[in-house]
Chains A and B, each alone.
Chain A
Amino acid sequence: MAESTTVVAKKASSPIKFGAKEKKLLTDPLNDNNPITVQVLGICSALAVTTGMKNAFVMAIAVVFVCVGSNVITSVMRNIIPKQVRMIVQLVIIATLVTIVELVLKAVSFESYKALSVFIGLIITNCIIMGRLEAFASANKPYESMLDGLGNGVGYGIILLIVAFFREFLGKGTLFDYKIIGATPEYLINTTDSFLFGWYVNNNLMVLFPSAMFVIGIVIWVHRAWNPKLVDVS
């Protein structure tokens, strides 16, 4: 009893603090513990949605929302979920939030809903969300879990945008669907339109799946060369 009162008193004196520990929770997933390049979570969707910057951007925002929301809800309920059925409970929480995202996107921007509806459903099977629920939120307090979810969502989104940048730029010569480099399409050949590097022919391999593996592999290479403590010593 005495113990619980001290805990309550401690909480009341510092409702929301943002010290070194909290900062570490937030920034760790951006660099030292990045979900894609270090934890290897969420690769499937990183392969599927990175053919264009626009899809990657909407996906990143959706994942940040679902990650934060499901982390907080699971963390609040962590003491009442029985261990034997925890996966089903977690999946129901995730599926509910994903449905909310889907409905909001449908209401706000029907165009991108049509383009992304399949991928939004894929968030349910995005292992980064369930991975964080299993590894962090089911054993930590809601506020810390919120920071962890935010950090992981943003860390995931950054890698997604980097990969999408190279794939869209080299594969289609566009960024956010605006033509940047490459030849003018044939039916426009006689107009005054001209783009930078007109000699560039789009590399269609960059749009296919294997190129995503190569790009992520190179991103990991650069990341580890820049941050040598992540280098695999085994």
Chain B
Amino acid sequence: MELVNIFIKAAFIENLALAYFLGMCSYLAVSKTVKTAFGLGLAVIFVLGITMPINWMINEYLLGESGIFHLDLTFLRLILFIAVIASMVQLVEMVIEKFSPALYNSLGIFLPLITVNCAILGGSLFMVAGEYSFGESVAFGLGGGFGWFLAIIAIAAIREKIRYSDVPPALRGLGMAFILTGLMGMAFMGLMGIDPAAF
């Protein structure tokens, strides 16, 4: 039950895309059609779900004072996390290139850029900050990925529909996507509870 809670919290209340605005570059650039957005969303779920437990193990067994070196190696955290993420993304890239060349071509440069998708690194850093256990980190990773997946599907669907609306020409496409994301973000602020300290 605890794990379900964490999954739902990660997917909706702490939505990586719409509450923290992480991973915005690929979110905005790949959301032109639902089909490519679907592919990228699945890749992000996969990468988040795999890297989160690996990074949890690195953080727990290598870096802390209770780890195998008995040293405080937390200054290596950023580099090790990034290295894990980069190798996982490289793996995903090879798999997609082999099994679905069409998806590979439509994702273009944004597939390698999952490496620097801040949602992935941000998720791992939130996991460290939240002091989750192993099972909880898996739930948090999958939930975070699922929330990002839902967000990119939602914006892609809106963008497909809004193509038929009478938007000023200069605002069409990217400009409108920014404003829509801002509006969706304001809606998600309602789920988080508006921080009274900000007002």
Looking at the assembled complex, report how far the CB atom of A164 sits from the nearest CB atom of chain B, in whole angstroms. 16
B96 at the interface (CB under 8 A from A): no
A32 at the interface (CB under 8 A from B): no
B137 at the interface (CB under 8 A from A): no
Q: Which of A67-75, A139-147, A177-185, A208-216 lies at the interface?
A: A208-216
A214 touches B169 (CB 8 A): no
A84 at the interface (CB under 8 A from B): yes
* Known contacts A43-B24, A125-B118, A204-B199: A91-B82 contact under CB 8 Å: yes
How many Cβ-Cβ contacts under 8 Å join chain A to chain B? Answer: 127
B191 at the interface (CB under 8 A from A): no
Looking at the assembled complex, report how far the CB atom of A202 sits from the nearest CB atom of chain B, in whole angstroms. 10
The interface on chain B, measured as residues whose beta carbon lies within 8 A of the other chain's beta carbons, has a size of 47
A224 at the interface (CB under 8 A from B): yes
A55 at the interface (CB under 8 A from B): no
A231 touches B172 (CB 8 A): yes
A84 touches B90 (CB 8 A): yes
A210 touches B183 (CB 8 A): yes
B175 touches A87 (CB 8 A): no
Central interface residue in B86, B116, B182, by most chain A CB within 10 Å: B116
Q: Quick one: CB contact mask for B76-94 with A, threshold 8 Å, 1 for yes?
A: 0011001100110110000
Q: Quick one: CB contact mask for A100-136 with B, threshold 8 Å, 1 for yes?
A: 0000000000000000000001101111011100110
A213 touches B199 (CB 8 A): no
A217 touches B116 (CB 8 A): no
B68 at the interface (CB under 8 A from A): no
Q: Which of B43-51, B107-115, B126-134, B140-148 lies at the interface?
A: B107-115
Q: Quick one: CB contact mask for B15-44 with A, threshold 8 Å, 1 for yes?
A: 000001111111011001000000000000
A232 touches B115 (CB 8 A): no
Inter-chain contacts of B174 with A (CB < 8 A):
37, 40, 220, 232
Inter-chain contacts of A207 with B (CB < 8 A):
198
Chain A, interface residues (CB within 8 Å), range = 35 or more
A131 touches B113 (CB 8 A): yes
User: Which residue of A has the minimal Cβ distance to B93?
Assistant: A87
A175 at the interface (CB under 8 A from B): no
Inter-chain contacts of A88 with B (CB < 8 A):
83, 86-87, 90
In the bound assembly, the distance between CA atoms of A135 and B110 in angstroms comes to 11
In the bound assembly, the distance between CA atoms of A234 and B78 in angstroms comes to 40
A77 at the interface (CB under 8 A from B): no
User: Which residue of B has the minimal Cβ distance to A98?
Assistant: B78
A91 touches B182 (CB 8 A): no
* Known contacts A40-B29, A127-B117, A221-B170: A211-B90 contact under CB 8 Å: no
B179 at the interface (CB under 8 A from A): yes
B153 at the interface (CB under 8 A from A): no
In the bound assembly, the distance between CA atoms of A125 and B20 in angstroms comes to 15
Instruction: Please report A residues at the B interface, Cβ cutoff 8 Å.
Output: 37, 40-44, 47, 84-85, 87-88, 91, 95, 121-122, 124-127, 129-131, 134-135, 204, 207-214, 216-218, 220-225, 228, 231-232, 234
